[in-house]
Structure 1
Amino acid sequence: MELRQLQYVIQIAKDKNFSRAAEKLHIAQPSLSQQLTKLEKELGVLLFRRTTNSVELTHAGEAFVRRAQTILDTVEQLKQEMDDMALMRRGRLVVGSLPITGSQILPLVLPVFGGQYPQIEITLIEDTSSRLEQLTASGETDLSLLTLPLQEPSLAWEPLIEEEICLAVPLGHPLAGRTSPVPMRELAEEPFIVLKKGQGFRQITYNLCEQAGFSPRVVFESSNIETVQSLVAGGMGIAFVPKMLTRPQESEFAPAYLRLTEPEASRTLVIASRKGRYLSKAAEAFIETMKTTVARYYSL
């Protein structure tokens, strides 16, 4: 039995026609028929019922196709694993990222990774949390930088960093000069500025408020955390902001930032990939580079 014979049987089963299968396999139809007959004799069973108009799998053929597909998938994965050393010298990774979070982390990570693996091309996709989860689940990105909680059950993840979430208030707000952490329950009547639906940090805001026993009174929504902070600085409401995205206090458009408590507020940045997907050595190297670089630069 040869691997090519497994491929022949699978193709015939898909097309249910010897001529179409032979065309796709780039072999002559008589050669395909001969190979099938040879295989059936070796196995001692018929794999197909042949009529003048159709080709149908027998019960034995159905079992054979299932096993053959598993074998070919395993062989393909083996080839990919064995090619890993070559991929480290020449390859491509597609990395998904939240736009603002990525702008803080990827400029630190990409130069380090590029210096170690100059022949690996990185393609960056920036999108909303929900869209990135879909792209990662479908295999359109190899890895994605996301925040918990993830909504897509087919994703696996490993933590990158636990980051504090700050409360942003206008400089003229009664809380602005406070030095002690602010209990969440004190914010129940405050006007909130939040990100629009599809953004993972929006759900974090709602979750924190719900844990404190209230729903946020939303007065503005934006697709950009920088716009959210500008609206806060302009006196339009309050907002939660990841610590790494806070603005320098000397900035003209910086709100006041306070710590939160009861519950303490944080978010978990993770590196997500599709469950069961083989990660190349290049992908594993990128994950390790991201972990070590982020640990070096951020102590949140």
Structure 2
Amino acid sequence: MIETYLLQQLIAFSKNGTLSAASENLHISQPALSQSMKKLEDILGVPIFERTKNKLTLNDTGRLTVELTEKLLTQQEEMIEKIRLFDKTKHTLCLGACAPIPVSDIVPLLPRFYSGFTVSYELKNSNEALWEGLEHGLYQIIIVHEETGKYLKCPDEFFSFPYRQENLSLWVPHEHPLSALSELELKDLAYQNILLYTHIGFWYEMCKEKLPDAHFLYMNEFDAFQQISGTSAFPSFTTDASAEQRQEAGKKVIPITDNEVHVTYHFVCRREDSDRFLPLIKQLRSDFSA
């Protein structure tokens, strides 16, 4: 059995080229590293170094050993990560979502149906990152705004259903020139100053992509954004999916007609977990419709 530290030291020697440089990076003495390399050679039962009076270099067998060692250590790291993630799923539920609304819908429901589990969530700006997280066990549930990616390629591997819609509108002061409109298009927002909260998942990327000529005033703190947007002369975005759909005096909600701002959220989990999440799925289907 080869101890891992011997393999790690071999890789360090290969990368640094000399015993002195490798021992310095490993924070061990050069004689200790030399002894480790001799021990590894003895375990393998074949010479992997060429030795001269003042130099130690890898021979062809040694270079193959390094190549195989790198693969082995990578596999070992992947194994440890998979084991830790598997253990985490036994007592933790992690939701990955593309927007804040699904988080506010689902996170409060999880403790009701899965008491004893630690609940966490992550907001991502792209569906691709969510699919990757689900595939690697980082998330047990993801919410995406397009039924794409892995689901279309492997429909037997994943369970998915559309659970709700969200439609973006613009919230403007009555004295703002745009308030004269009953509805608008994204192109109408060119060169406008718009308050934008940054932690909004894919909506953030959509705004930057579809409104390249808008002047965004970015805000990172939600409470400050809520306060300032309520009194500011600048427009901001709001949504029909929020319980706080705004109709305050002095402000007007104007629907946006572009297809990009009308999205359907899809609940996705591994098909093998669909029975486990059936109580949650039933609740979402009862509370919302797509």
Shared fold per TM-score greater than 0.5: yes
What residue is the counterpart of 1:153 in the other structure? none
Letter in 2 for 1:168: W
Structure 2 gaps of 5+ residues are 152-159
| C-alpha distance in structure 1 between counterparts of 2:53 and 2:120, whole Å | 51
Tell me, yes or no, if the aligned pair for 1:146 and 1:270 is still in contact at 8 Å. yes
Q: Where does 1:214-293 land on structure 2 (aligned, <5 Å)?
A: 215-218=213-216, 220-224=217-221, 227-228=224-225, 230-234=227-231, 236-245=233-242, 247-249=244-246, 252=248, 255-266=251-262, 292=281
| C-alpha distance in structure 2 between counterparts of 1:17 and 1:270, whole Å | 55
Letter in 1 for 2:257: T
Match of 1:168 among 158, 167, 171: 171
RMSD: 5.6
Q: Where does 1:16-27 land on structure 2 (aligned, <5 Å)?
A: 17=19
1:107 aligns with 2:101: no
Letter in 1 for 2:10: I
What residue is the counterpart of 1:276 in the other structure? none
SS of the equivalent of 1:69 reads helix
1:169-199 deviation line (CA, Å, top 9, x unaligned): 2256576586x64233444465422346998
Specify whether residues 167 and 299 from structure 1 end up closer, same or farther in structure 2 by C-alpha distance, changes over 3 A only.
farther
- Equivalenced residue count is 254
What residue is the counterpart of 1:55 in the other structure? 56
Tell me, yes or no, if the aligned pair for 2:165 and 2:262 is still in contact at 8 Å. yes
Tell me, yes or no, if the aligned pair for 2:94 and 2:121 is still in contact at 8 Å. yes
| C-alpha distance in structure 2 between counterparts of 1:254 and 1:293, whole Å | 40
Specify whether residues 295 and 124 from structure 1 end up closer, same or farther in structure 2 by C-alpha distance, changes over 3 A only.
closer
| C-alpha distance in structure 2 between counterparts of 1:198 and 1:259, whole Å | 19
Match of 1:37 among 38, 42, 67: 42
| C-alpha distance in structure 2 between counterparts of 1:254 and 1:108, whole Å | 33
Letter in 1 for 2:244: R
| C-alpha distance in structure 1 between counterparts of 2:53 and 2:266, whole Å | 57
Specify whether residues 209 and 12 from structure 1 end up closer, same or farther in structure 2 by C-alpha distance, changes over 3 A only.
closer
Tell me, yes or no, if the aligned pair for 1:192 and 1:238 is still in contact at 8 Å. yes
Q: CA deviation at 1:65?
A: 1.3
Tell me, yes or no, if the aligned pair for 1:168 and 1:258 is still in contact at 8 Å. yes
| C-alpha distance in structure 2 between counterparts of 1:202 and 1:80, whole Å | 31
Report the identity percentage.
Answer: 15
What residue is the counterpart of 2:155 in the other structure? none
| C-alpha distance in structure 2 between counterparts of 1:253 and 1:224, whole Å | 24
Q: TM-score, normalised by structure 1?
A: 0.54
Q: CA deviation at 1:64?
A: 1.6
SS of the equivalent of 2:206 reads helix
Moved more, 196-205 or 57-66: 196-205
Moved more, 105-114 or 57-66: 105-114
1:138-162 deviation line (CA, Å, top 9, x unaligned): xxxx4698999xxxxxxx9989976
Letter in 2 for 1:8: L
Letter in 2 for 1:164: N
| C-alpha distance in structure 1 between counterparts of 2:78 and 2:192, whole Å | 54
Q: CA deviation at 1:261?
A: 1.3
1:66 aligns with 2:67: yes
Letter in 1 for 2:234: G
Tell me, yes or no, if the aligned pair for 2:173 and 2:252 is still in contact at 8 Å. yes
Q: CA deviation at 1:164?
A: 2.4
Q: CA deviation at 1:33?
A: 3.1
1:231-272 deviation line (CA, Å, top 9, x unaligned): 44435021223444462446x57943232114542468899x
Letter in 1 for 2:206: I
Q: CA deviation at 1:60?
A: 2.4
